[in-house]
Amino acid sequence: MTALLGEFIGTAMLIVLGNGVVANVILNKTKGHNSGWIVITLGWAMAVFVGVYIAAPFSGAHLNPAVTIALATAEKFPWQDVPMYIGMQIAGAFTGAVLVWAMYKKHFDETTDAGTILAVYATGPAIRNTFSNLLSEIIGSFVLILGVLYIVSPQNSLGALDALPVALLVLAIGLSLGGTTGYAINPARDLGPRIAHAILPAKYKGSSDWAYAWIPVIGPVIGAVLAVLVMKGLA
């Protein structure tokens, strides 16, 4: 239970700070309105750092179904624990999104564009094309998982301070690869808040875009498995 609670709390913190920085930048009448992509990517990197640092002693700080599946594929995590970890990650992400909604409720009310409201919760493509969008999530997630597997390997690991290089890795992905789909690279990060968007009230809320929602779920899993295969090939 301690490990599962660690996944829940760590993922909730990840979303509170990650979706929180998006809300601060794009919702109307916030102090950070229109402060830009650099603020969003840096905020997300710090969100990863905090979430991983908090959860690491308890659960190993996966906070991402793609990480959990990658570790299980690499035989570094038991497959029987995968469903429970993923369930807590999605629940934590949903809870974090609810807290962001509560924090920014007045600013959601002041924002009339439905697409902007959805963007606080979930990712979406800059140019909608199924193949290109899926490929973007596969590549971004491949880079994430390959980097994570290298960072946490026994010869490179810094222990709890692994949170810092992982955060810098996410910052690099956001800056370099995030412009196409918003770099979900984490099924729970997208699915949990998207469910929250579908449930929570908002004056100008539109569709939760479920037609796109499978891409930030399947893409990261494919990228994660490919990264493991490459690591095994290099071993």
Q: What is the pLDDT of residue 117?
A: 98
The domain containing residue 186 runs over which residues?
2-234
With contact defined as beta carbons under 8 Å apart, do 16 and 94 qualify?
Answer: no
Closest to 109 in 3D by CA, of 209, 15, 200: 200
pLDDT in tens, 21-60: 999 999 999 999 999 999 999 999 999 999 999 999 999 9
Q: Calculate mean pLDDT across residues 99-109.
A: 97
Structural domain count, the chain: 1
pLDDT in tens, 108-132: 999 999 999 999 999 999 999 999 9
Q: Which residues of 168-201 are buried (b: 16+ CB within 10 A; e: fewer)?
A: ebbbbbbeebbebbbbbbbbbbbbbbbbbbbebe
Percent of the chain with pLDDT over 90: 92
pTM of the shown model: 0.97
Q: What is the pLDDT of residue 161?
A: 74
Q: How confident is the model at residue 235 (pLDDT cuts 50, 70, 90)?
A: low
Closest to 15 in 3D by CA, of 194, 143, 149, 164: 194
CA distance readout (Å), 109 to 40, 85, 113, 136: 21, 34, 10, 32
Q: What is the pLDDT of residue 190?
A: 98
Closest to 129 in 3D by CA, of 93, 181, 82, 92: 181
Query: Which two three-digit tokens encode residue 66?
Result: 């793609």
Closest to 104 in 3D by CA, of 192, 208, 33, 181: 33
Q: Calculate mean pLDDT across residues 12-25.
A: 98
Q: What CATH number is attached to the domain comprising 79?
A: 1.20.1080.10
Q: How confident is the model at residue 157 (pLDDT cuts 50, 70, 90)?
A: low
pLDDT in tens, 146-155: 999 999 887 7
